[in-house]
Amino acid sequence: MSTLTYDTLLMRREGITRDLPVGENDDLRWVTNSATLIMGDHDAVLVDSFTTVSQNETLVQWVKDHDRRLTHVYLTHGHGDHIYGIGQLLEAFPTAHAVATTGTLAQSRIQAGDAWRVGFWGQLFPGEIPVPVLPEVLDGDGLALEGHELKIVEMGHTDTDDTTVLWVPDIRLVVAGDVVYNETHMYLAESTTASRREWIASLEVVKSLDPLTVIAGHKFPQRADDPVTIDDSMTYLSDFIEAESATSTARELYDAVLARHPRRANPGALWGSAKKIKGAEVS
């Protein structure tokens, strides 16, 4: 049996919430996405893609540089910034299959529609969003890579509906998608207090796998892919829940969480979440 290895590509882009209070954390108003290539001796599986045409062109070349036959592209969840590169990848690697769970496919269909692709992402990145291609539904709960099992673990609603992580037991690797965040503000605009508590329970499931490596879908580039990010994500959610109950306005919630997590990347995610939960007024 071959020995598995992996590599991760990070791509930085502007955040999606851009009306933050002036002058605060100006140097952190960006977010990185990750794509992870899991490799055997000859074949490879890619997990997630990127947002824009140019980012995915870079991703295609990066995969080619690893000199493996790409068998699958696995999508951890259906947000556009993770799925929009499918078409470019399949064009470059025509024997590969883009696969996802039934739930991720349902979410991908929503993000592939004009309301999201043109009306949302296309407004933020004009002329840069690829023509979407949908994944196939994966038959079963995992993938095989040169005799090794890559296991899908359903996480339910975390930052959106029907999310998953990919668990590679033989090297104790979790490719976490947006279930785990690494020194980056968590996207909570689609969550409720109840679902944030469920998210914490999902993170306990990830922790119970006892991984050596956890690759977050959004991470601070200089931060290691350490399992401590699971606990950090649980702490962030708990802090947000506590601040939510103690505040009345979006600005109060934003300030309260930022006081506890002042140097995470992408404070726009926090501001957007606070506005969605408390309303858009600023006090």
Specify the length of the chain in residues.
283
Look at residues 96, 204, 93 and name the one whose alpha carbon lies nearest to residue 158.
204
**pLDDT for the residue numbered 62:** 99
Look at residues 53, 60, 47, 73 and name the one whose alpha carbon lies nearest to residue 13.
53
**pLDDT for the residue numbered 283:** 41
CATH number of 5-278: 3.60.15.10
Position 7, amino acid: D
Neighbours of 1 (CB within 10 A): 9
Look at residues 169, 181, 179 and name the one whose alpha carbon lies nearest to residue 209.
169
Look at residues 124, 243, 128 and name the one whose alpha carbon lies nearest to residue 188.
243
DSSP label at 138? P
Tokens (6 digits) for 266: 């992408």
Whether the pTM exceeds 0.75: the reply is: yes
Per-residue pLDDT of the chain (283 residues; tens, 9 = 90+): 799 999 999 999 999 998 888 666 789 999 999 999 999 999 999 999 999 999 999 999 999 999 999 999 999 999 999 999 999 999 999 999 999 999 999 999 999 999 999 999 999 999 999 999 999 999 999 999 999 999 999 999 999 999 999 999 999 999 999 999 999 999 999 999 999 999 999 999 999 999 999 999 999 999 999 999 999 999 999 999 999 999 999 999 999 999 999 999 999 999 999 999 998 754 4
Query: Is there a contact between 244 and 57 (Cβ–Cβ < 8 Å)?
Result: no
**pLDDT for the residue numbered 22:** 67
**pLDDT for the residue numbered 281:** 57
**pLDDT for the residue numbered 282:** 45
Instruction: Locate the domains of the chain by residue range.
Output: 5-278
